[in-house]
């Protein structure tokens, strides 16, 4: 494994498909302006900054969660926070990563 492999993003496609098969909720943590430009059908929209005040709502879904954003950074932050609060969640990265599997259903 070379130095540049450290920067290679992990392929999440299998994990995303597994979570979708389990009925996961797609949680988009982008801004409202970004959401309005496009998002996955059926996704829930909760802006990253408001995740802490919405943890109980997210837990009440009683489903696994796939967090998404524009590039994976904010969804990574949301994933870490939610995991620390007992939510079964993965970082789906850019919302298009998940959307490609939703439209192929």
Mean pLDDT of 67-79: 96
Three-state SS letters, the chain:
CCHHHHHCCCCCHHHHHHHHHCCCEEEECCCHHHHHHCCCCCCEECCHHHCHHHHHHHHHCCCCEEEEECCCHHHHHHHHHHHHCCCCEEEEEEHHHHHHHHHCC
State the pTM of this model.
Answer: 0.88
Per cent of the chain over pLDDT 70 is 87
Fold classification of 3-103 is: Oxidized Rhodanese; domain 1 (3.40.250)
Mean pLDDT of 18-45: 96
To the nearest whole number, what is the mean pLDDT of the chain? Answer: 89
Question: Is the pLDDT confidence value at 8 over 70?
Answer: no
């Amino acid at each position: 494994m070379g130095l540049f492999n450290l920067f290679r993003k992990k392929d999440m496609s299998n994990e995303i498909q597994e979570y979708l098969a389990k009925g996961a909720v797609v949680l988009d943590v982008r801004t409202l302006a970004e959401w309005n430009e496009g998002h996955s059908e059926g996704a829930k929209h909760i802006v990253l900054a408001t995740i802490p005040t919405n943890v109980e709502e997210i837990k009440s879904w009683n489903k696994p969660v796939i967090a998404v954003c524009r590039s994976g950074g904010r969804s990574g932050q949301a994933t870490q926070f939610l995991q620390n609060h007992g939510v079964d969640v993965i970082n789906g990265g850019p919302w298009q990563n998940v959307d490609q599997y939703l439209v192929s259903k």
